[in-house]
Amino acid sequence: MDKKIIMKILANDGISESGVTLLESAGFNVSTDKIDQDNLIDAINDQKIEVILVRSATKVRKDIIDSCPNLKIIGRGGVGMDNIDVDYAKEKGIQVINTPAASSQSVAELVMAQLFNISRSVYDSNRKMPSSTNGDFKTLKKKYAKGVELRGKTIGIIGFGRIGQNTARYALGCGMKVIASDPFIDKVNIDIEINNQPLIVNIPTITFDEVLANADFISLHVPMPSDGKALIGEDEFNKMKDGIRIVNAARGGVIDEDALIKALNNGKVAAAALDVFVGEPSPRTDLINHDKISITPHIGAATIEAQNRIGTELADKIISFYKK
Ligand SMILES: NC(=O)c1ccc[n+]([C@@H]2O[C@H](COP(=O)([O-])OP(=O)(O)OC[C@H]3O[C@@H](n4cnc5c(N)ncnc54)[C@H](O)[C@@H]3O)[C@@H](O)[C@H]2O)c1
């Protein structure tokens, strides 16, 4: 890149300091001032922005691509590109980059946190304890008396890609049996290092229905199906064991939210944990107030480590693009 030209990058949903530092030392000017979706086109054109970086909040659709002819790179910090018209951007000669592997470990750790959480109703206890009187304390103690252990239980992982495999690694470490389904993967060797001793666990995938029927816990790690239909609905809940516990840190629409509430209310599902919702950032209130659902606001990748990896990976890709 010509050092005299200061190229402006808009990181509209933020970027780590490490990413900013790398970009600035390569001569770029990075703005993290959030611009409303409605004002984005004007801002990109007025400020002569060639690179826009987003996470999941900002949408880069056809309207922006058509109206901002100077745009050269659209970068997504993370995996899912459902907020970007990727094919259309590529048709128009715009480079679309993302950081698919940078957050896998962090998402898997959130899933593990939620597995421990929903096996002991930690979330509901946290909600109710502050307002407890002595009487309530005993009632709550009784209410949460039927926790379950993870060790020895079977976790069914649906979608055995990057995050699914990272989750398997942690679940194996907790003494869980791991089963998995993925139409594009036959088997996976999960490598675990314990106290410098390597251990390889081979996990062949089985069918979706076999996972539904045999799991005590289910964790979803698939992309949103292209037909927009939920992968888990009433029929799928009916195929699961009674008292199943389920975690969704993939995409909101992967579980049919009506069917989930019904299955929680009739006892089929003992508890659920959701990091993702239909209609983000305004999830439905009956879902987020349900006492059998533990909720987090789409924070799977929200660790310092993952954000640093995302920021530096994006920066490296932008710098090498302009070096060509
Ligand atoms: N909560 C968060 O903050 C967060 C962060 C990163 C990623 N995600 C989401 O996690 C999901 C998985 O990400 P990843 O990086 O592991 O993706 P990946 O591409 O590595 O793995 C996804 C796997 O799902 C499989 N798959 C597709 N359809 C399936 C089906 N019907 N049944 C079973 N398997 C199926 C694919 O073959 C693939 O192996 C994505 O939806 C992504 O958007 C969420």
Q: How far apart are the first and last CA of the chain?
A: 8
Q: Which two tokens stand for residue 308?
A: 């640093």
pLDDT at 3 over 60: no
Q: Is the Cβ–Cβ distance between 202 and 171 less than 8 Å?
A: no
**In one letter, which amino acid is 248?**
N
Tell me the CA distances in angstroms from 109 to 119, 141, 169, one per residue in order.
15, 27, 10
- Asked if the model's pLDDT at residue 5 lies above 80, the reply is no
* 2 pLDDT above the threshold of 60: no
Nearest CA to ligand 1 atom 38: 161
Q: In what order do the strands lie in the sheet with 244-248?
A: 177-181, 154-158, 217-220, 244-248, 269-274, 293-295
List pLDDT tens digits, range 81-137.
Answer: 989 999 999 999 999 999 999 999 999 999 999 999 999 999 999 999 887 777 788
Q: What is the pLDDT of residues 210-248, one digit of tens each?
A: 999 999 999 999 999 999 999 999 999 999 999 999 999
Residue type, 116: F
298 is catalytic: yes
For the whole model, what pTM was predicted? 0.92
The single residue listed with the structure tokens 């932008």 is 318
Q: How far is the CA of 46 from the centre of ligand 1 (A)?
A: 37
Identify the helix (H) or strand (E) that includes residue 128.
helix 122-128
- Give the phi and the psi of residue 204 in degrees, each rounded to 5: -75, 145
What's the pLDDT at 307? 96
Q: How confident is the model at residue 1 (pLDDT cuts 50, 70, 90)?
A: low
Question: pLDDT category, 199, cuts 50, 70, 90?
Answer: very high
Note the pLDDT of residue 6: 72
Residues with CB under 6 A from ligand 1: 78-80, 100, 103-104, 107, 158-164, 181-185, 208, 221-223, 231, 249-251, 275-276, 298, 300-301
Beta strands 269-274 and 244-248 are: parallel
CA distance 89 to 176: 43
pLDDT band at 35 (very low <50, low <70, confident <90, very high): very high
- Residue 306 structure tokens: 């993952």
Amino acid occupying residue 48: K
What DSSP character marks residue 204? E
